[in-house]
Amino acid sequence: MSTPPSALFSAAAPRPVPLPAPAGADAERASRLLERCRALVRPALSDAVGRLHPWVGEMAAYSLGWCEPGGAPVTVPASGKGLRQALAVLGAKAAGAPASAGVTAAVAVELVHTFSLLHDDIMDGDQTRRGRPTAWKAYGTGPAVLAGDALFALSVETLAAVPGTDIPAAVRQLSTALGDLVRGQADDLLFETRPWTGSGAVRPDEYRVMAEHKTGALLGCAAALGAVLARAPRGTTATLDRAGRHLGVAFQVIDDLLGIWGDPMVTGKPVHADLLRGKKTYPVLAALGTRAARPLARLLDSPRTLDEAGARRAAALIEEAGGRSAALAEAHRHVAAVDACLDGLIEASRTGGHPAPVAASRATDDLRALLAFLVRREV
């Protein structure tokens, strides 16, 4: 589900801190790039899913947006943008390899991403995704757990089968991301049980770690894994990993902003859903850290569950206390950090001669176009 660049600023914002707007050409470049990567990766991804037990394979194909329950092809497209597979392909190109060198990494991370959506939807009790019932709603909880496990195993199997590459480094890259993914999801679940104020309250730095793990780890792994399989030097893969992790935090914060001030007609999410659920989002945590936050703290600490009017009032108080601008500034910082990582890649390729300067520069331009396009959209 995509959010046009205007969504983040659709409500009247008194102190907008705009993120870099993508030029029309950049947006078009990013769109074409995503489409090209999906087309490049699809045959290998289909092959991998085709190796699953047929029933499990159908659930996987449903989760990937390829079919309806029962296996009939979809009539309305329901796939994701394929951001992670694009990052894997660009990671390989940033290492001076052809796009095709990133395909196995792309398949591995796309399988892990699909696994994590499947299991997260069970944990969060989410009933719809991309406008369709989630897999556990369509097939039952047990089968959805199984399908997630199958995708997880398939991802490792796919990576371990690549001939002639540094498999240990690739498996380590993936398993570290998997571990972080679980850590981030655990923290996210636990945050919901913690208080808004007092010594047990969630601090913004804890949020940052959670977001890096939950969203950033796999984005970083995607780009780095593409480079690992293209035999990039350790410095290149580490920089790409770091870039993806910053991108993940930026995404998560932007998601939080959209959850409070985004246009529900555009984001596709009910208005104030995060506030009504008591979710520990960055704008609220940032606002609670200021002196102006007393009335907000009283409202959130009240034993009464927030209703729609309460959520509206909370949104206004968060903004008054500076939570909105602090969150925008936080997203900005992480976007700038991604940019710095990409500058570092270019610099390394100029001085170290590896990866090839021209290829690296073209790939980082693509990554920048993707970044500009994506930070204005929903994750």
- Interface map 42-61 toward a second copy (x if CB under 8 A): -----------x-xx-----
142 is a contact residue toward a second copy (CB under 8 A):
yes
What is the C-alpha separation between 220 and 228, in angstroms, rounded?
12
Which of these, 293, 282, 232, lies nearest to 260 by C-alpha position? 282
Distance CA 108, CA 156 (A): 7
- Please tell me what DSSP assigns to residue 194: S
Cβ proximity to a second copy: between 146 and 238 the closer is: 146
Does 268 interact with a second copy (rule: CB under 8 A)? no
Residue of the chain from 45, 174, 219, 370 that contacts a second copy (CB under 8 A): 174
When the beta carbons of 101 and 341 are compared against a second copy, the nearer one is 101
CB of 317 to a second copy, least distance (A): 31
* Separation CA 252–CA 214 (nearest Å): 9
Helix extents (H) in 51-166: 54-63, 83-94, 103-124, 135-139, 141-160
Distance (Å, whole) CA 46 – CA 41: 9
Residue type (1 letter), 16? P
Output the smallest distance, CB 67 to a second copy, in A.
17
- Residue with Cβ nearer a second copy (58 or 339): 58
Q: Which is nearer to a second copy, 217 or 379 (CB)?
A: 217
> How many residues in the shown chain lie near a second copy by CB under 8 A?
41
Q: Is 368 in the site for a second copy (CB under 8 A)?
A: no
CA-wise closest residue to 256 among 305, 194, 184, 328: 328
Residue 182 touching a second copy (CB under 8 A): yes
**Is there a contact between 246 and 232 (Cβ–Cβ < 8 Å)?**
no
Nearer to a second copy, 185 or 236 (CB): 185
Q: Which of 11, 23, 39, 123 binds a second copy (CB under 8 A)?
A: 123
Q: Tell me the closest approach of the beta carbon of residue 55 to a second copy, in angstroms.
A: 6
How far is residue 187's CA from residue 189's CA, in Å, rounded to a whole number? 5
Q: Report whether the peptide linkage leading into residue 16 is cis, meaning its omega lies within 30 degrees of zero.
A: no
- The stretch near a second copy (CB under 8 A) out of 118-126, 272-280, 305-313, 350-358 is 118-126
Q: Are 222 and 104 in contact (CB under 8 A)?
A: no
Looking at the Cβ atoms of 98 and 179, the one nearer to a second copy is 179
Coil, strand or helix: which one is 230?
Answer: coil
Token pair recorded at residue 2: 């995509």
Residue closer to a second copy by CB (options 79, 141) is 141
**Chain residues in the site for a second copy (CB under 8 A):** 53, 55-56, 119, 122-125, 141-143, 145-146, 148-150, 152-154, 156-157, 159-161, 167-168, 171-172, 174-176, 178-179, 181-183, 185-187, 189-190
